[in-house]
Amino acid sequence: MTKEKLQLTVQLMAIEHMLAKLVAARYLEKGYTPDLIKSMHKLQLEQARQETFPQVDPALSDVAASEYEVEVGRLQQAVECLVQAAQAK
C-alpha cells in the first residue's frame, strides 16, 4: 500500500468513526431503543440492497452494490455497539 493510499484509508476510517459516534449520539438523544434502532437499520439495509450504479459496467455495478451493502451494514453495527455501550454505563 502506498503512503497516499494508507493516508486516505486512515482518513476514511476516522470519518466513519466520527459519523458513527454522531449517529449514535443522535439516537441516544432521541431516546431510541435498541429494538427501534435495529428496525430502522433493517429498513436502511433493505434500501442499500436496492442501490445501483448505472454509470458503470453491469458486472462492476453488482460488485459495487454488494460492497455498498456490506459497508452500510458495518457502519450500522458500529452505531449499535456505541449505543449499547453508552446505555450500559
Look at residue 78 in the predicted model and tell me its pLDDT: 96
Tell me: the pLDDT tens digits for 12-27?
Answer: 999 999 999 999 999 9
Look at residue 11 in the predicted model and tell me its pLDDT: 97
What's the per-residue H, E or C state across the chain?
Answer: CCHHHHHHHHHHHHHHHHHHHHHHHHHHHHCCCHHHHHHHHHHHHHHHHCCCCCCCCHHHHHHHHHHHHHHHHHHHHHHHHHHHHHHHC
Look at residue 48 in the predicted model and tell me its pLDDT: 86
Low-confidence ranges of the chain (pLDDT < 50): none
Look at residue 54 in the predicted model and tell me its pLDDT: 87
Look at residue 1 in the predicted model and tell me its pLDDT: 87
